Amino acid sequence: MPILPSYSCSGGEQSVFRETKLLMGTVVEIAVVGQSGERSRDAIREALEEIARVDELVSTFKQGSVVSRLNREGAIGKVSVGKEVFFLIRAAAAISEASGGAFDITVGPIVKLWGFESGGARPSEVILGKVLPLVGYRNLNYDENSYAVGFKTSGMQIDLGAMAAGWAADLAIEKLKARGITAAIVDAGGELRVIGSKPGGIPWRIGVQDPRSPGELLMTFDLGDTAVATSGDYERFFMDGGVRYHHILDPATGMPARGCRSVTVLAPTAAEADACSTAAFVLGPERGIAFLRSRPGVRGFIVDEDGDLHWTDEALERMARR
């Protein structure tokens, strides 16, 4: 996973309590600062339960999830998805609009076609050509009164994989806050949200993985209240004839997006950081940076296909430690 938080565990009466769990097909790690181990661990447990609940809503692998039901029935008629998933889908569609369609949660059919979850293989051009017209966020129908969503075309499928982990991190942080926690980090497989600081006011330090040396850090950042997400071509990919085929797809072509190795985004919420890192990845280094700059409170950097860095702003570049 691209972001590896590192913590130290000392400072006055306060300690850092941490737990790790496999959820949403990734490693979720939560660390909270507190005086009482029992209260801290209760809060962590509740936050982990919240992430499990999110997975039950948005997973495309769980047949009983709200998203799976929408994908089965959305072309027959509008499906009531509940208020929070409804507004998540609306937020995703707004990012589609802002990114000129680079980000598009209706990529479901082409995500399935490539099958990166089970190793992956190049689809034939004929099949890709048949499936590609099913992709298009403009073909989603909404009914705001019943929080229902439908598909204009039969065969459409949504996939919230580019945003779900970030959204889960945000909701987990809300649970922690409701428990009175003021300093914590929730890392949902590299999509993370930070509040407060470590004991003694020491900032949380997060590391960004080197896209071509897994396990090595490209740089670290000391962060206050913010969210960070990274999209990379090294997360899920296969090689064929010396070409890297990875899981971030260009909705215009149905092919893996070219031009970037990784995109790291800082934003006020992890859902926004997560979606924007995927969008900028698809847009490529130049248009990706312009897109990130266009969004209030959003900043980041791109490692392009030659390994060169592109930044939204110099202040962020100065914050990075290498």
Enumerate binding residues for ligand ADP (CB under 6 A): 103-105, 107, 111, 159, 161-162, 165, 190-191, 231, 235, 247-249, 251, 274, 277-278, 282
- If the CB atoms of residues 34 and 108 are measured against ligand ADP, the closer one turns out to be 108
With binding defined as CB under 5 A, does residue 278 bind Mg ion?
yes
With binding defined as CB under 5 A, does residue 274 bind Mg ion?
yes
Q: Cα–chain-centroid distance for residue 261?
A: 16
> CB 111 → ligand ADP: shortest distance, Å?
5
Strand ranges in the chain using DSSP code E only, listed in sequence order: 3-6, 15-23, 26-34, 79-80, 140-143, 148-151, 184-188, 191-195, 204-209, 217-223, 226-232, 237-240, 243-246, 260-267, 299-304, 309-311
- Residues that bind Mg ion (rule: CB under 5 A) add up to a total of 5
Paired tokens of 119: 């190793």
What is the C-alpha to C-alpha distance for residues 16 and 270, in angstroms, rounded to an integer? 22
What is the C-alpha to C-alpha distance for residues 18 and 202, in angstroms, rounded to an integer? 17
Residues across the chain: 322
Per the DSSP assignment, residues forming a β-bridge with 107 are: none
44-103 residues in contact with Mg ion (CB under 5 A) are none
> CB 106 → ligand ADP: shortest distance, Å?
8
Paired tokens of 264: 């790291």
- Report the alpha-carbon angle 166-206-4, nearest 5: 75
> CB 202 → ligand ADP: shortest distance, Å?
28
With binding defined as CB under 5 A, does residue 276 bind Mg ion?
no
> CB 157 → ligand ADP: shortest distance, Å?
11
Q: From residue 55, how far is each of 59, 163, 204, 257, 269 by CA, in Å? A: 5, 12, 26, 26, 18
Task: Give Cβ neighbours of residue 49 (< 8 Å, ≥ 6 apart).
Answer: none
> CB 304 → ligand ADP: shortest distance, Å?
16
111 makes contact, choosing from ligand ADP, Mg ion, none, with CB < 5 to 8 Å by partner type, with ligand ADP
- If the CB atoms of residues 40 and 99 are measured against ligand ADP, the closer one turns out to be 99
- If the CB atoms of residues 264 and 277 are measured against Mg ion, the closer one turns out to be 277
With binding defined as CB under 5 A, does residue 230 bind Mg ion?
no
- If the CB atoms of residues 40 and 71 are measured against ligand ADP, the closer one turns out to be 71
Segment interacting with Mg ion (CB under 5 A) among 13-21, 66-74, 101-109, 223-231: 223-231
288 makes contact, choosing from Mg ion, ligand ADP, none, with CB < 5 to 8 Å by partner type, with none
Rule CB under 5 A: choose which of 162, 228, 271, 289 binds Mg ion: 162
Task: Give Cβ neighbours of residue 158 (< 8 Å, ≥ 6 apart).
Answer: 67, 70, 71, 74, 89, 105, 106, 108, 140
Interface residues toward Mg ion, by CB under 5 A: 162, 231, 274, 277-278
